[in-house]
Chains A and B, each alone.
Chain A
Amino acid sequence: MTTTPKPHPTRRLILQGAASVALLGLGNLPFAAPARAAANDKYPEEAFKQKSEADAIKALYGKTAEPSDKVKLDAPEIAENGGVVPISVTTTLDKVTSISFFVAENPFALAASYKIPDGTIPAVANRLKMARTTRLTAIVEADGKLYSATKEVKVTVGGCGG
C-alpha cells in the first residue's frame, strides 16, 4: 500500500501526514489492514465481534485503560460526512506495541487495531464510518499498559443558521 511508483510531492505528503506505520487506512476497509499487519499474531476475532466498547476492550486487551494526555486523538467535532470520518492518533509514549480505535455507537465497537512494530513512529490515521453521534476512543498500548483518549464526534443531518 505504501509503495510509490514514482516521486510525487502530493502523494508523499499524504503518506507522511497520514501514517508513519506501514499501514494506511485510506480505503474504507479498516479491518483489512490490521489483519494483514497482525499476520504473525492471532486475528482478534472475538474482539471485533463485541458490541459494546467495554466488552471489545476486554476481549482485545483483557484490561482497562487510563486516560492520558500523551495520547493525541484528532477527529472532527462535527463530521462532514459520517460515512468517512477522518481520525488520527499520535503519542509521545515509549514502547508502543498497539493502537486501537473504538466507536461506541457503532454496531460493533472495535473499528481497527494496529500492531506497532518496534522502532516505528506511533502515528496512525484512518477513516471510520459512524452511524450516529458517538464517543470515539483511541487506546495506545505502551510498555504493557493501556492509555486512552476520547472525543465526541457529532453526526448531524445538517442545515444552517448564520
Chain B
Amino acid sequence: MGIRRRDFLKGAGLAAATLGLPRLARGTDTASIYDLERFGNARILHITDTHAQLNPVYFREPSVNIGIGEMAGRPPHLVGRAFLERFGIRPDSADAYAFTCFEFEKSAGRFGKLGGFAHLKTLVDRLRADVGERRSLLVDGGDLWQGTGLANAMQGRDMVEVANLLGIEAMTGHWEFTYGEQALRDNLERFKGEFLAQNVFLTEEAAFNDAPAFDKATGRVFKPSVIKEIGSHRVAIIGQAFPYVPIAHPKKFTPDWTFGIREEELQKHVDALRGTDKVDAVILLSHNGMDVDLKLASRVTGIDVILGGHTHDAVPQPIAVKNAGGTTLVTNAGSNGKFLAVLDLAIDKGKVSDVHYHLLPVYSELLKPDPAMAELIGRLRAPHVTDWSAKIATPDRLLYRRGNFSGPMDELICTALRTELDAEIALSPGFRWGVTALSGQALTMEDVLAETAITYPETYVQEMTGAQIKDVLEDVCDNLFNADPYYQQGGDMVRAGGLSYTCTPDAAIGSRISELRLGNGKALNASHRYKIAGWASVNDQRGAPVWDVVGKYLRSGRMLQERLGSGVMLKGVDGNPGIAGQG
C-alpha cells in the first residue's frame, strides 16, 4: 500500500468539496480524508443511483456531457479538465480520478475500485458515529434495486436486505418500478425504511376501481414525505420519484399509476409541511435529474436542499438557486456506489442557517469492508457465483458506457446485435448505468449482466425506413437536448451501430440529426427499408434476452476484431466544456 497511500495523500488536501471550507485531511492515516470537521446539528447522508453494485467497481465518468443554452458550461455539464478547474481539483489527485474521466486508465491502476456496500457500510457507520445518536439520517435517491444480474434475478430483494443492514431510512424510486407493482410492494413490505413519492398518483380509472393508494383523497399512491426528528429539530424529507417512468419504460409495469414532475402538488405539500407541521427544514430527495432539479429549484419555494440523482452527475459542491422564497441548494451524488454525500445542516428554529456539503468518493482501498455486510453480500451472491464468474472474453481496450453519444461498451453490444441477429443497423439504449471494464480485464457473464440486466431485455429485429430511423434519433436527441429541462428525460443518446450521423445539439427537434450513413459510407435513403436489431423496447418483443446475444458473441472470440470508433460528428458545440475530446 506504500505507493498507493502517497497517491491518496497528494490529493487529500485539496480545497474542493465543501462550501467555502477546504476539506480537512490531516494525519498519517490516508483514511483521514473521511475525518470531517464537525459542523451544525444535523447530518444527512445521501446515496443515489448505486444500481445495485454490491462490490467495488471501476466507473469512468463521461468525457462528453454537453449542456445546451442556459446549461452550457455550467455544472453538471463540465467534463475533464474544465471540471477539475471549476472545482479546484488537482489533475493528479485521487479526486480527479473519482470525479472525472481525466487519465482514467492510468489512475485506475493507482487508486483502484470505488464503492461496494461493505465499504460503504464502514464509512456510513463511521460518519454516523462521529455525530452521535439520533443526529443523522441515511437516505437513498433510487435506482438502488437494479443494475446487476443478481438484482434482476431477485427483483431487487437482495438490495432490500442490503438497504436494511446499511440502515437506509427513506428512499424514492425509478427502476424500482420496472419490477411491477406486486414485486415493488412485496419489497417495500420487507424494507425497514420509508418509500416516498409525492409525484405518483392513481390514474382516474384506477382510482375509480378502488386501487390501493396511500391517500385516497389525493390519489397519491405512496407516502409523499416523512418528518424525522434529528436532535431537537424536525426535518421533512419529501420523495420525488423519476417523473417519466411510464414513458421511459414499458407502461405494463405501472398501468395504474401516473407520474410527472407535479410542481404544484409539490409546492402545496412544502407549504403544508412549513405552515401546518412547522418543520425546521425541508429536503427534497429527488430522482428528477440535475437539470430538472435546477429548474424546479428556481420555481418551487421553501425547499432548503434538493438531494438529487438520476443523471449520475458527481458534482462536488451544491449549486445555489435563487427563487421567490429564498435560496435552494441542488446536489447530485453520482452513481454506481462511487460516492457518499454528507450534508451537515446548522438548523435553527424553523430555518437552516448554514450548510456544509461533502461528496466523498468511496475509495475501496482506504476502507475496511464491514464484516456483516460482506457476509450478507457473499450469501446473496452465492447461488449465482459459479454460473456467472467464468471468463468469456478479454477485451484489448477500455470498455465504458457513459457519454452523451456512445462508448466502447455499447459499440460492442451493437456489434454483437448486428452480428448475431444479422442486421444492418443496431440500436442500443443510452443507459447511464453499467460499469467500466479495463483493458485486459477478463469479462464474465456477471459483467455482461451489469450492462444489460433489465426486466425487458428481449431483443428484436424489425424493418424501418431511413426516415423512421431519423425520427427515432431526433426524438431521443430531444429528450437529451431540449432547451427546457422539464422536457428532458435524462439518459443519453440511443447508441447506433452500423450507422453514422451528424448531430447539432443546439438545433430544434427535427433539425439536429443529419448526414446519416450506413457503416459502408452509403447515405441512408429516407424511403428504403433497413433491417434493425435492438433491445430494451418499450413495446413487447419476443427475441432472446440481450445478455444471451452478447454472451454468445463474446464466446465466439470475434469481439474485438472490429473497429470501435464513435460514428457521431458534432456540430455547433466547438469549445463547449462538456466535451473532453475523447469519446
| Chain A interface (Cβ < 8 Å from any Cβ of B) | 9-11, 13-14, 17-18, 26, 74, 76-81, 86, 133, 152, 154, 156-162
Query: In the complex the two chains form, what is the Cα distance from A13 to B204 in whole Å?
Result: 10
Determine, out of B4-12, B98-106, B242-250, B518-526, the stretch whose residues face the partner at the interface.
B242-250
Give me 27 A-to-B residue pairs in the complex whose CB atoms sit less than 8 angstroms apart, sorted by A's number. Answer: A9-B216, A10-B208, A10-B216, A13-B216, A14-B207, A26-B204, A74-B264, A77-B261, A77-B486, A80-B247, A80-B259, A81-B246, A154-B478, A156-B247, A157-B471, A157-B472, A158-B249, A159-B537, A160-B431, A161-B429, A161-B430, A161-B492, A162-B242, A162-B248, A162-B287, A162-B312, A162-B433
Q: How far is the CB of A154 from chain B (nearest CB, A)?
A: 5
B311 and A160 contacting across the interface, CB-CB below 8 Å = no
Using a CB–CB distance below 8 Å, which chain B residues touch chain A?
49, 143, 174-175, 204, 207-210, 216-217, 219, 242, 244, 246-249, 251, 258-261, 264, 287, 289, 310-312, 429-433, 471-472, 475-476, 478-480, 482, 484, 486-487, 489-492, 494, 509, 536-538
Whether A78 pairs with B489 at a CB distance below 8 angstroms is yes
Residue of A nearest to B480 (CB): A161
CA distance A10 to B211 in the complex (A): 10
Closest to A158 in B: B538
A80 and B248 form a contact (CB under 8 A): no
Query: Known contacts A10-B207, A161-B432, A162-B289; is A81 also within 8 Å of B491 by CB?
Result: no
Determine the residue in chain B with the shortest Cβ distance to A157.
B475
| A158 to B540 CA separation, bound complex (whole angstroms) | 13
Once the chains bind, are A77 and B475 in contact (CB under 8 Å)? no
Task: Give the 5 A-B CB pairs with smallest separation, nearest first.
Answer: A161-B491, A160-B248, A158-B538, A80-B246, A77-B486
In the complex, which residue of chain A has the Cβ closest to the Cβ of B472?
Answer: A157
In the complex, are the beta carbons of B251 and A80 less than 8 A apart? yes
Closest chain A CB from B221 CB (angstroms)? 14
| C-alpha gap A26/B49 in the complex (Å) | 38
Contact residues in A for B482 (Cβ distance below 8 Å): 154
On whether the beta carbons of A159 and B216 are closer than 8 Å, the reply is no
| A159, B207: Cβ atoms closer than 8 Å | no
A13 CB contact (under 8 Å) in B207, B289, B311, B484: B207
**B312 contacts which chain A residues (CB < 8 A)?**
162
A133 to B242, CA, bound (A): 21
Query: Of A18, A74, A81, A160, which one neighbours B489 at CB under 8 angstroms?
Result: A160
Contact of A77 (CB < 8 Å), options: B260, B311, B492, B537 = B260
Residues of B within 8 A of A161 (CB): 248, 429-432, 479-480, 489-492
Q: In whole Å, how far is B286's beta carbon from the nearest beta carbon of chain A?
A: 12
| Contact yes or no, B210 A10, CB < 8 A | yes
| A157 vs chain B, min Cβ distance (A) | 5
CA distance A80 to B430 in the complex (A): 20
Please report the C-alpha to C-alpha distance between residue A117 and residue B244 in the assembled complex, in whole angstroms: 37
Q: In the assembled complex, which residues on chain A have CB atoms less than 8 Å from the CB atom of B486?
A: 77
Q: A10-B216, A154-B478 are in contact. List 12 more A-B contacts (CB 8 A).
A: A14-B204, A17-B219, A78-B489, A80-B259, A81-B246, A86-B258, A156-B478, A158-B247, A160-B491, A162-B248, A162-B310, A162-B491
